[in-house]
Amino acid sequence: MEECWNDAVEAVVYELARHNGESPLDRGVALRRRLNELAEDLGWAHAFEQLAAERGWHGEERGAESESRVRARVHGAAVTATLMAA
């Protein structure tokens, strides 16, 4: 399940980076690691906002919206896995 979370977080931070002119060659792995570090102290929503501030990303969604997109991806993956197993 942790891999599913990692994949979801990487996808969201990669999209945010791309919207701001960055093209992470690692598909967001380093950004996910930094986000995880921030989330330990701040929680997910604030961690997304702090990461955006650190990277100089402007006009992006609020941290809560980014967190919701991660949760939606994880939920969607879980539903797909359940359907495939059935």
pTM above 0.75, yes or no: yes
Task: Yes or no: say if 8 and 77 are a contact pair by the CB < 8 Å rule.
Answer: yes
* Segments making up each domain of the chain, as ranges: 2-85
pLDDT for 80 equals 53
Nearest-CA neighbor of 16 among 43, 46, 44, 56? 56
pLDDT in tens, the chain (86 residues): 578 899 999 999 999 999 999 999 999 999 999 999 999 999 999 999 999 999 999 877 899 999 999 999 998 655 455 555 66
Residue 32 · residue 11 · CB < 8 Å:
no
pLDDT given for residue 64 in this prediction: 96
